[in-house]
């Protein structure tokens, strides 16, 4: 499929891709270099402190390899800033073919440099290239250079997390009444969908400039805050999704996950609501990323760790006056759901970074390829078929939205179904996205033109959002 508009790329200095390449990627890369420096310094101290020769050897190897990684990343930073050619991904045992063939194609068009390549492609390539530096070592191949950042930010979400857990606890008391009150269930459904939507407002690749109180404000999910934010939902298919969900009985919902930490927590709460409080859904499948991705995306390890750390009162101590038990009861239920297969990961939870070679991992590798989702059937037929068995596939977040729409310069009033290309109608599809990149579709022309003319950064500043739903084609 080829879209009738060109992709966004940084050749336009007024676009957000330019800002990203110039300002944000260098910050992200520098963060990784700093962390590797710190770790190798700690390893040096450890090595100097040990007197056992046999223990020094493996430490030395780790240090040497860390230095090798730092060198490569520093070179990458230098070359990126000077618009060098993007080199092929080396053969490192993980999928690279889609990247390298696209690089070749871009070379023919003289668009294979950091400031000329399509933004979506270049950004995916960046994370895949970083991965190659780690996977080619013996000591760091399962290391996630963003793990500590993910955990740190997660810790700052304590207040919102305990608030939501208390709300869910109160719901529990209403359980019996709710089951027979479909109107009330519909109202709650919308609360949940909005909580899950705004959970996407906190992704770490954008947090390069935010303070922890900014983060807390973003996470305030009380009713008033939601009403205030409703005007920022520029496309709102909540009613349509609810009508679709109501038509299901014991159905399956899939989440194509985005960020770990708070956003994943909101995904799990939404999933919990669907299976615990409605008769419409009985299983939920979660799709993680198999390599460290866009800083904060969920890996299989993050999924398991998130649930475990929520059970640790030292990790997220309840704010004064709040009851840890509310959170604990909910997480214990999730653990039971995981054990019973009500909540399932699309790959085994123990899947190592990179994924290995079983079929499920092979399918999951599609999420970290640079391919737009309209090519899913061609690139990942197994995954496409698996999703066809789902009753609702929820794509979380901004990057998933860019991939759904190919990150091309569609007029903002293009129908969502057109922008999905051949993926449209494959399965019932819901995208929950706060706007953090230029591409927007499915918004009324008048509104989009007004916002564009107002000088507002509505496409990229994360204040606006889209809830876009499309049914499956009738067989
Ligand atoms: O530039 C913003 C950005 O880094 C995009 O590259 C990416 O689409 C997005 O943030 C990641 O956001 P999310 O975690 O919502 O996919
Ligand atoms: Mg993300």
Per the document, the length of the chain is 475
Q: How confident is the model at residue 210 (pLDDT cuts 50, 70, 90)?
A: very low
Give the largest CA-CA distance in the chain.
Answer: 73
Element (H, E) at 465: strand 465-470
| Mode of pairing for the β-strands spanning 281-287 and 251-256 | parallel
Looking at the structure, tell me whether residues 205 and 95 fall in a common domain: no
Looking at the structure, tell me whether residues 130 and 163 fall in a common domain: no
Ligand 1 contacts CB of residue 235 (under 6 A): no
Q: Which domain holds residue 33?
A: 16-143
CATH number at residue 431: 3.40.50.10880
Paired with 433 in beta bridges are: 466
Kindly state the average pLDDT of the residues 427-435: 97
Distance 50 CA to ligand 1 centre (A): 43
| Structure confidence at residue 173 (pLDDT) | 77
| Last residue within a domain, chosen from 109, 143, 177 | 143
CATH number at residue 31: 1.20.930.60
Query: Quick one: which of 260, 244, 362, 358 has its CA closest to 309?
Result: 260
Atom number of ligand 1 nearest to Cα 402: 8
Nearest-ligand number for the alpha carbon of 397: 1
Looking at the structure, tell me whether residues 182 and 74 fall in a common domain: no
294: left (phi over 0), alpha (psi -120 to 50) or beta: left
| Last residue within a domain, chosen from 143, 163, 188 | 143
How many other CB atoms are there within 10 angstroms of residue 186's CB atom?
A: 16
Distance 184 CA to ligand 2 centre (A): 32
Kindly state the average pLDDT of the residues 404-413: 98
Ligand 1 contacts CB of residue 437 (under 6 A): yes
| Structure confidence at residue 10 (pLDDT) | 97
Looking at the structure, tell me whether residues 171 and 128 fall in a common domain: no
CA dihedral 210, 213, 214, 217 (to 10 degrees): 160
Is 342 a member of any domain? yes
Distance 368 CA to ligand 1 centre (A): 14
Looking at the structure, tell me whether residues 122 and 171 fall in a common domain: no
User: What pLDDT, in 10s, does the model give residues 1-14?
Assistant: 999 999 999 999 99
Looking at the structure, tell me whether residues 256 and 297 fall in a common domain: yes
Mean pLDDT, the chain, integer: 92
Is 355 a member of any domain? yes
Looking at the structure, tell me whether residues 197 and 71 fall in a common domain: no
CA dihedral 127, 128, 132, 134 (to 10 degrees): 40
Record the pTM: 0.94
Looking at the structure, tell me whether residues 176 and 195 fall in a common domain: yes
| CB-based burial label for 383 (10 Å; 0-12, 13-18, 19+) | buried
Kindly state the average pLDDT of the residues 82-94: 97
Looking at the structure, tell me whether residues 303 and 247 fall in a common domain: yes
User: What pLDDT, in 10s, does the model give residues 137-147?
Assistant: 999 999 999 99
| Last residue within a domain, chosen from 115, 143, 171 | 143
Atom number of ligand 1 nearest to Cα 17: 1
Kindly state the average pLDDT of the residues 359-367: 94
Looking at the structure, tell me whether residues 132 and 176 fall in a common domain: no
Task: Tally the domains of the chain.
Answer: 2
Looking at the structure, tell me whether residues 309 and 253 fall in a common domain: yes
Ligand 1 contacts CB of residue 7 (under 6 A): no
Looking at the structure, tell me whether residues 122 and 45 fall in a common domain: yes
Is 6 a member of any domain? no
How would you write 184-207 as a 3-class SS string? HHHHHHHHHHHHHHHHHHCCCCCH
Is 10 a member of any domain? no
Nearest-ligand number for the alpha carbon of 436: 1
Is 260 a member of any domain? yes
Ligand 1 contacts CB of residue 259 (under 6 A): yes
């Amino acid at each position: 499929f080829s879209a009738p508009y060109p992709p966004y790329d940084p050749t336009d200095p007024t676009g957000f891709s330019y800002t990203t390449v110039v300002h944000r990627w260098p910050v992200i890369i520098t963060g990784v270099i700093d962390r590797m420096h710190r770790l190798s310094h700690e390893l040096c101290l450890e090595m100097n402190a040990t007197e056992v020769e046999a223990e020094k050897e493996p430490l030395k190897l780790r240090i040497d390899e860390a230095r090798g990684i730092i060198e490569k990343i520093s070179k990458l930073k230098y070359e990126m800033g000077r618009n060098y050619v993007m080199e092929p991904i080396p053969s490192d045992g993980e999928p690279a073919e889609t990247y390298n063939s696209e690089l070749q194609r871009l070379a023919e068009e003289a668009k294979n440099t950091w400031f000329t390549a399509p933004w979506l492609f270049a950004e995916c390539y960046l994370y895949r290239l970083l991965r190659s530096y780690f996977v080619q070592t013996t000591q760091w191949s399962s290391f996630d250079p963003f793990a500590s950042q993910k955990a740190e930010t997660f810790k700052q979400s304590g207040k919102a997390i305990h608030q939501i857990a208390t709300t869910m606890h109160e719901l529990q008391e209403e359980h019996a009444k709710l089951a027979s009150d479909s109107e009330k269930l519909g109202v709650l459904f919308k609360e949940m969908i909005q909580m899950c939507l705004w959970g996407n407002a906190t992704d770490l690749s954008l947090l390069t400039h935010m303070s922890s109180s900014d983060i807390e404000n973003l996470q305030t999910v009380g009713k008033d805050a939601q009403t205030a934010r409703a005007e920022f939902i520029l496309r709102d298919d909540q009613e349509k999704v609810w009508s679709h969900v109501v038509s299901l009985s014991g159905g399956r919902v899939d989440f194509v996950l985005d960020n770990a930490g708070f956003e994943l927590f909101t995904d799990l709460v939404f999933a919990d609501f669907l299976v615990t409080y409605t008769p419409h859904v009985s299983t939920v499948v979660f799709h993680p990323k198999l390599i460290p991705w866009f800083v904060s995306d969920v890996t299989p390890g993050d999924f398991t760790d998130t649930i475990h750390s929520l059970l640790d009162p030292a990790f997220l101590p309840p704010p004064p006056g709040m009851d840890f038990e509310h959170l604990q009861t909910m997480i214990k239920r999730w653990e039971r759901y995981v054990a019973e297969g009500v909540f399932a990961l699309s790959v085994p939870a123990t899947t190592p970074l990179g994924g290995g070679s079983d079929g499920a991992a092979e399918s999951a590798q599609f999420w970290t390829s640079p391919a737009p989702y309209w090519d899913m059937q061609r690139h990942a037929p197994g995954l496409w078929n698996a999703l066809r068995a789902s009753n609702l596939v929820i794509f979380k977040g901004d990057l998933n939205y860019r991939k759904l729409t190919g990150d091309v310069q569609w007029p903002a009033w293009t129908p969502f179904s057109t922008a999905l290309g051949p993926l449209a109608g494959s399965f019932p599809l819901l995208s929950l996205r706060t706007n953090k990149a230029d591409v927007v579709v499915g918004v009324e022309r008048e509104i989009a033109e007004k916002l564009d003319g107002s000088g507002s950064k509505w496409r990229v500043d994360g204040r606006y959002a889209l809830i876009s739903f499309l049914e499956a084609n009738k067989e």
